[in-house]
Each structure stands twice: as C-alpha cells, then as structure tokens.
C-alpha cells in the first residue's frame, strides 16, 4: 500500500485528539474548582456570553447533542445556576438563562479559563495564536457549509 498516511498524521484525527486532550485538561480544573463537567460549562459559557437562549439554540451554539444539553441544563437548574422560563413565541420551548449565582460562577470561571488558555497555548506566539484561531474558523466554516462538496 503505497502512499498510505498514518492515522497520527491524519489532520482530522490529530485535531480531534488534541481537542479532547485540551477539553480533558480544562474539565479537570472546572470539576475541581466548581463541580462542573464540560457540557455544563459550555452551556454556562454560551448563556454568559449571549444571554438567554432556547435549548435548541444551545445545541447549535455548543455543537453538543440534544441529550447532553438537556442533561447539562437539568444539572444547572437543580444547582440553582440556571432558570427556565416559558417561551411565549413557542410553547414547546423555554428560555434558559443564568441565575445570579450562575452569573457569579461564570464570572469566577472566566479568569481561570483565560489563564488555562494562556498556559495551554504558550507554545505559540501571540501572532501564531491569532493565525491558529483564524485557520480553525475557516476550517469550521468549510465543514459547516453544507453546499460544499468535500
């Protein structure tokens, strides 16, 4: 089999395992300091950044499946970090938002998150970090463009 690429050199695989390693490292910190799992933090991050959202919007924003988002919302609601209000525009959904204690946790996590980002990407210069972010955005846009033949 000539010209066969090793799995460890296959970019989608490398991107996936790197993403998982970074997420695992961050998850350990969030769990230790705040008792949060990654899905719960992702929901909190989106609500903290964007404000109230429906569960459907959270699924789209986090790229997690409906069940994971539903479980995360339930845990956050049970902990008093998230509130659920009926959506008057669509009786089948709810607006989810952070409570005041949820906002406090979100604000407490952000400095930790930024410090972890700084440490994890310290192998790159500031310019390389910006280039890397740009490259990831372009790849994501191409992957999400359903009209593009891959």
CA-to-CA distance for 16 and 116, rounded, in angstroms? 19
Please check the confidence at residue 1 and state whether its pLDDT lies above 60. Answer: no
Parallel, antiparallel, or unpaired: how do β-strands 82-86 and 94-98 relate? antiparallel
Calpha distance 49→36 (Å, rounded): 17
Residue 105 — very low, low, confident or very high, per pLDDT cuts 50/70/90?
A: very high
Distance CA 117, CA 26 (A): 9
**Is pLDDT of 148 > 90?**
no
Domain range 20-144, its CATH number among 2.60.40.1930, 1.10.730.10, 1.10.10.10, 2.30.30.100 = 1.10.10.10
Which pLDDT score is estimated for 3? 59
Question: Rounded to whole angstroms, how far apart are CA atoms 54 and 66?
Answer: 12
**E strand residue ranges, 26-114:** 82-86, 94-98
pLDDT digits (tens, 9 = 90+) for 37-75: 999 999 999 999 999 999 999 999 999 999 999 999 999
pLDDT confidence band for 35 (50 / 70 / 90): very high
For 16-31, write each residue's pLDDT tens digit: 999 989 888 888 999 9
Listed by start position, the domains of the chain span: 20-144
pLDDT above 60 (res 2): no
Instruction: Name the pTM for this structure.
Output: 0.81
The yes-or-no verdict on residue 135 having pLDDT over 70 is: yes
For the stretch 108-128, pLDDT in tens is 998 988 899 999 999 999 999
């Amino acid at each position: 089999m000539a010209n066969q690429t090793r799995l460890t050199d296959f970019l989608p695989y490398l991107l996936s395992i790197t993403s998982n390693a970074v997420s695992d490292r961050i998850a350990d910190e969030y769990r230790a300091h705040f008792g949060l799992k990654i899905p719960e933090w992702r929901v909190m991050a989106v609500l903290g950044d964007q404000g109230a959202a429906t569960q459907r919007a959270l699924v789209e924003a986090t790229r997690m499946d409906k069940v994971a988002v539903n479980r995360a919302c339930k845990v956050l609601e049970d902990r008093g970090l998230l509130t659920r209000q009926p959506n008057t525009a669509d009786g089948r959904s709810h607006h989810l938002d952070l409570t005041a204690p949820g906002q406090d946790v979100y604000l407490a996590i952000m400095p930790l998150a930024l410090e972890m980002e700084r440490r994890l990407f310290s192998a790159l210069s500031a310019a390389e970090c910006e280039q890397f972010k740009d490259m990831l955005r372009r790849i994501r846009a191409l992957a999400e463009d359903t009209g593009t033949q891959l």
